[in-house]
Structure formats: structure tokens, C-alpha cells
Amino acid sequence: MPDKTVTLNPHTYDKLGIIHCGVTHEGFVVVAGDPRDIADGQEILFERVGIKVRRDGGQYTFTRVH
């Protein structure tokens, strides 16, 4: 079973299962090619791929939700 969570910092990338996730720079994330701005303390759901991103300062946690 693939990992369900990955935590990244700015300028890092990884995969959550087969989905590419990354933090291109502070406050900007990309999931499966879909870029979004994210504020500190904010949580965003990428519905198309079922991944939730939460930002806590310089840490960005990507979690598979289904």
C-alpha cells in the first residue's frame, strides 16, 4: 500500500502514490500539475486527485483523502 502522507519544504518535490506533489516556493504548491497559492495555516483540497495540503509555516503536508 502506498504512503498516505508526505511532508515537504519549499523547493522540494515527491510523489504520493503515483501523484506528483511539490512546493515550488514559499506559499505555492503543485499537485498533479495543478498549482495553487496557500497561506500559512490554510488547508486546500485537490478534489480531482483526492489530496489535501496543509501548510504549517515552512512545512507542507500532502495527504491522500480517498
Q: Sign of torsion, CA 62 16 13 7?
A: positive
Number of domains present in the structure of the chain? 1
Cβ distance 54 to 63 under 8 Å? yes
Neighbour order of strands in the sheet with 34-37: 12-16, 19-25, 28-31, 34-37
Domain with 35, as residue range(s), is 5-64
Fill in the DSSP letter of residue 4.
Answer: S
| pTM exceeding the 0.85 threshold for the entire prediction | yes
Beta bridge partners of 46: 51
Task: Per residue of the chain (66 residues), give pLDDT as tens.
Answer: 456 999 999 999 999 989 999 999 999 999 999 999 999 999 999 999 999 999 999 999 999 997
